[in-house]
Amino acid sequence: MAVNFRNLGEFIDELERQGELVRFRGEVSCDLEITEITDRMSKSPGGGRAILFENVKGSRFPVLTNQFGSMKRISMALNSGSLSELSDRISSIINMKPPQSFWEKLKMLPELVKFSKFLPGKHRGKAPCHEVVLKGGDADLTHIPVLKCWPQDGGPFVTLPLVFTKGLTDGRRNCGMYRMQVFDRNTTGMHWHIHKDGAHHFHEYRKAGKRMEVAVAIGADPAVTYSASAPLPRGIDEMLLAGFIRQGRVKMTKCLTVDLEVPAEAEFIIEGYVDPEETRIEGPFGDHTGYYSLADYYPVFHVTAVTHRKNAVYGATVVGRPPMEDCYMALATERIFLPMLKTIFPEIKDYWLPWEGVFHNIAVVAVDKEFPHHATRVMNGLWGSGQMSFAKMLLLIDDEELLKNPIRLMETVLERIDFNSDIVITTGVLDVLDHSADKPLYGGKMGIDATERIAGEVERAEPFMAKRMGNDELIERVMGLEENVQDVKIYFENIQRRIVCSAIKKTRVKNSKYFMEKFTKSRLLRGQGIFVLFDHDMDICDGSLLLWKAFNNVDPIRDIVKEGDRVVVDATRKGKADGHSREWPEDIVMSESVVHRVNELLEAEESEVLKGLAKNDQGK
């Protein structure tokens, strides 16, 4: 049953009633330990449960993590029985027909009145977020249990902030979710990506030479928190989306030291300003890609006030190698924005963003083809449209049922595609976190048309059918190709275009180019499959790990070689020996000392759920 939550406390209570919350009662540090416990819970079957850490070392405030991290919890958070139900609600509005008569207009009045209730409202009286007020020198961020998530992080980061700004020219409100590194008691970084609306406001103020006021809410009700992460068009108020999701207006209150409004029911409010001319090194940060995003210069946020509820709960999220909590938030975005995507591309039936692609690296799109090369038109349209423009790889199919069966999807693609006519390699904008390209924000993209041919399209060429080696013989041939080939694993071994994964040990001389030529020029391997190269220390028996590395480490222009019916893909990390001048980020890995410490903490807990996390880790 859907519930409209006014604040985070009501959501926590409902999570506990539904058996979706576990309380961690032992003393735990917000320096890495909460992350390690949350990471294990996030990777439990189905996403595990939300965790409320009640005894955080050095702070009187409890910490909530993994609140959105399952299909059930994200649906509860968004006031729906399921994400499909919420998507249907949006579709009903988008597809509403304009009234044609006076009586039809009268019939629409109740709907219009209902929509007016979604608009943000004003809170009457003293707001709950102002129960405790700390201004000036008393505003100390170090009292808040901000998490240091991963060993190489530049410091503690606020990971679930709702950052409110106002446009200088139009006065419109924006609420975005941008991480904030805490530098000291009253300054943080403000990590605005260049394509975000907050950055647009920032550039307005910088151009005008004016200081920019900012307010940050932490621990709002779940619909408001989610809405801050939603990729809405510029100028659309996120609080309107939150009101639609909750089916009730979000009550806002004025800040005390800046001219902005914030959700009155939030747990914490941090007020302050950004000087457009001031920057500071921010990062590294263990990001949702599973890699550290690199340190760089970002604006500095100066705190003028901190306010909070008397018994505030600090809401945080932990990101890293998927699956984690943010995967479920991304899934909600995928479902919620499908109806909106269809208004631009009505031929799209459905789409899927695999977790291993970390949201922006691959999209699988099912289309209803109506004319020759329709799939290519959609492909190019998506690359020129909003957030989809950052997709590095697009795979187009025509049977939406395949989106529910990844194995059959892969089999269909491998059996069907023509390497010479179905693969498009181009260049375009990339997400700022993509590290594979030679230049930041711009690099190779790949599109694959795996739709059925229709009249007016040239038939696919028959694949080159070499005498097919047995799988054991093929493994032996690949292992004998070069002494630095460490291991070989074949996937989809009963399909002609099987995938052959090889773990290779690169050196300064035996670099990516060397191995690519070895695999490409070998006559013995012609027509034997698609060859994908991974680093020697990879577990090539872990299919999810391989997909994650392939989607993240490959620049389609540099790292994919096609010769006839042979394809070789280099999914290894790149360095100067490979001609890659950019710094390559490190994988996120927790330190062994923290892992051992957390095992002890979990064993000491009374909850069998938490004790099970220690056993899960030991069995990895």
**Catalytic residue numbers?**
287
Which DSSP category does 191 fall into? Answer: -
- Kindly give the residue spans of alpha helices, DSSP state H, lying in 18-79: 33-42, 71-77
What type of residue is 16?
E
* Burial of 613: CB neighbours in 10 Å, binned 0-12, 13-18, 19+: buried
* Burial of 459: CB neighbours in 10 Å, binned 0-12, 13-18, 19+: exposed
Q: Which of 264, 267, 230, 262 is nearest to 245 (CA)?
A: 230
A 10 A CB-CB count for 314 gives 25
- Do 554 and 361 form a contact (C-beta atoms < 8 A)? no
- Do 571 and 500 form a contact (C-beta atoms < 8 A)? no
Tell me how far apart the alpha carbons of residues 506 and 512 are, in angstroms, rounded to a whole number. Answer: 7
**Helices (H), strands (E): how many in the chain?**
18, 28
390-420 as b/e, with b when 16 or more CB fall inside 10 Å? bbbbbbbbbebebbeeeeebbbebbebbbbe
Tell me how far apart the alpha carbons of residues 483 and 420 are, in angstroms, rounded to a whole number. Answer: 32
Residues 6 or more apart in contact with residue 244 via CB below 8 angstroms:
89, 90, 118
Tell me how far apart the alpha carbons of residues 404 and 548 are, in angstroms, rounded to a whole number. Answer: 19
- Do 389 and 410 form a contact (C-beta atoms < 8 A)? no
Which DSSP category does 291 fall into? Answer: B
3-state DSSP assignment of residue 154: coil
In which element (H, E) is residue 158 found?
strand 157-158
Residue 71 token pair: 């299909």
